[in-house]
Structure 1
């Protein structure tokens, strides 16, 4: 059987331009004629380009270079409006992304996706860092780095989506280390330090803080607790209060899943006494203000900072309550799965952090035990020598 040679020009055509360069033409996916994205110095290179396009079409890997002419701004806005990579964004996250697009990323809105190069991204990154540093220069401790990290991370994520949509061939966000969170590990809030801070706070905050510690609550989850969430020594954590552009709204928990956390008996007894001595409906706030509305995380944080700084423990934040409670649970022998259930974590990674902290704390305790034991042994030996 004779084999017919494939004519690669049957798929397209080439012609020489007055400049001497060669132009390649071939049908687009809809069958309409289109030009290659660039011209070629030789006829052979133009023919090879046509052959490559044809092969990509057959493999299903073809990318129409014209698709990348879409401006970044409209593409990014549509990506956010459609829920990002997973098709759903939390209200707070969507508001953050919209603010970043309107702020640090505004200068890229009119740029075609395919026209954004790694050099462009580096120039934008340097320029934006200077702008953000200038904007926060009068705010003590502020650097603008967190905002820059958020903006770069969003830009990289959106351009990754453009790669998957075959609008661009590769992601131009290639700055090493940019967009990564490098927050230092928070200091360990010991029960002794916690007791000291709570003791320096007004009494109205004592029980809310102990509940947050014992149930490993996020501040927003503490705000959203209702009287009916407590039953038989445990609290049901179903919701949180978040703030979007200053407006507080109630949403499901951060992971979208509810959890039941058994409180330490001493704290459970305090909650029962609190509920028995106050009135309200099951959906009333567990910890209300004088006007009947729920306490706010802002007021709690303010009271905490004032008390902590007043006794020389300003390094601790109210958000350290959750970390401290989970670390203590790990020290008490909690397994990874048990810590995940109590904290509401989806993956084991976060739970392992608390177990690691517990291991470090256990090592400190062991060293102290060894030291105390050595002192006692020497005392016994000394007494024994005296008897002799």
Structure 2
């Protein structure tokens, strides 16, 4: 059991059992009260308090002993590590693919370390979280704020798991998690998709068919190999993407690390066959996930640059996609990238009566609930179906 030591006085025991308190050499100097206790690892620990704080010292001792019994004890020394030191350790040991690691490192170092970096983990309180978040309003888009807050909460949650702090200040009731502004998806019309397609160079036009007709992401289209298409059975196997990591192109897993099969419509299949006859697939070799890895993968890609290289998203968007969008009479924004073709695909399938579960599978969403939240407003109205179903039920009941 621990005890509270008054370092300004020494206790002398006289014969007969009488005790006397006399001033020690430390009297009036430094912190007066020292709590001494044994930690769960068997080592002695201590915590010091100033004069007139004996009650605080006793309360600390009671709290410490209670935490030991509950198994929730956290060594106060462990929380002295700075946020910057712990965040860098978290980044090193966290399991990411390289592209995710790159963007996470950027967000943590740019938006979290300037405010929290020099603070000790144990000193970070809910008020600091609220102060930081308030300072980000207007500096970061709501969606980015939400993502960076999620990084902060995850880092401090890991600190709890590592027994460096007892509680995650991001989980306090007074801390409100930033939420992105929800914008309703407004799909393009068929004539708009056709106009954008016509504005692209001929060698790139089939990419619009894959986006609007198969729901593929831009990087997945860039990474599509001729061997990934099963023309006989009518399927596209989405197994990789081309992405940029550390300013270099690599092959990598698709989003959510899930490959998938997507139905290949006959109309899209015909376009791809004609494209392959006119533009021979080019064997491209790139690193897998990590640009500095020795692992290399070779794929006969359907879509390459005029110089027979893999497509770079930034260059393609700037030189080909945005000009085609402008030519179609659409103002280029963040919402008018190639991802908008997936919205067209989703709206077309829902209008045709396809289920949310199937749509989520074709789009490569990990959670059908996410698909429902994004596209529920595009589902066909069911009022007339409801009326007919109830009317038919009543007619069957009245006329057995």
Alignment equivalent of 2:322, drawn from 305, 316, 320? 305
**1:318: Cα distance to partner?**
2.0
Task: Kindly indicate which of the two structures has a greater share of residues assigned to helix.
Answer: 1
Contact 2:143 2:181 in 1 (8 A): no
**1:352: Cα distance to partner?**
1.2
**1:169: Cα distance to partner?**
2.5
Q: Residues 40 and 25 (structure 1 numbering): CA distance in 2 closer, same or farther, change over 3 Å?
A: farther
Residue 204 in structure 1 maps to residue 224 in structure 2: no
Q: Which runs of 5+ in 1 are unaligned?
A: 1-10, 134-142, 367-388
Contact 2:33 2:48 in 1 (8 A): no
**1:146: Cα distance to partner?**
5.5
Deviations 1:263-315 (A, max 9, x none): 22111111122223443467311112222223333344332322222342226
Deviations 1:118-165 (A, max 9, x none): 3333444455668xx4xxxxxxxxx66655544333222211221232
Structure 2 distance, partners of 1:272, 1:37, is 78
Alignment equivalent of 2:110, drawn from 88, 103, 107? 103
Q: Residues 38 and 329 (structure 1 numbering): CA distance in 2 closer, same or farther, change over 3 Å?
A: farther
**1:238: Cα distance to partner?**
0.3
Contact 1:205 1:300 in 2 (8 A): no
Give 1:35's aligned residue: 46
Give 1:79's aligned residue: 90
Alignment equivalent of 2:122, drawn from 111, 114, 121? 114
Contact 1:286 1:294 in 2 (8 A): no
Task: Kindly indicate which of the two structures has a greater share of residues assigned to strand.
Answer: 2
Which deviates further from its counterpart, 324-333 or 48-57? 48-57
Root-mean-square deviation (CA, aligned residues, Å) is 3.0
Contact 2:75 2:164 in 1 (8 A): yes
Structure 2 distance, partners of 1:113, 1:307, is 50
Q: Where do residues 146-157 of structure 1 align in structure 2 (5 Å cutoff)?
A: 148-157=145-154
Structure 2 distance, partners of 1:236, 1:81, is 33
Deviations 1:94-128 (A, max 9, x none): 11222233323333323210122333334444556
Contact 1:336 1:352 in 2 (8 A): yes
Structure 2 distance, partners of 1:336, 1:38, is 61
Structure 2 distance, partners of 1:122, 1:51, is 30
Residue 356 in structure 1 maps to residue 363 in structure 2: no
Contact 1:236 1:261 in 2 (8 A): yes
Deviations 1:2-49 (A, max 9, x none): xxxxxxxxx122233546964422112233322236469576664454
Q: Where do residues 108-257 of structure 1 align in structure 2 (5 Å cutoff)?
A: 108-127=116-135, 133=139, 148-173=145-170, 176-232=175-231, 233-257=234-258
Give 1:330's aligned residue: 350
Give the number of aligned pairs.
339
Residue 64 in structure 1 maps to residue 64 in structure 2: no
Q: Which runs of 5+ in 2 are unaligned?
A: 9-27, 284-298, 385-400
Q: Scaled by the length of structure 2, what TM-score is found?
A: 0.75
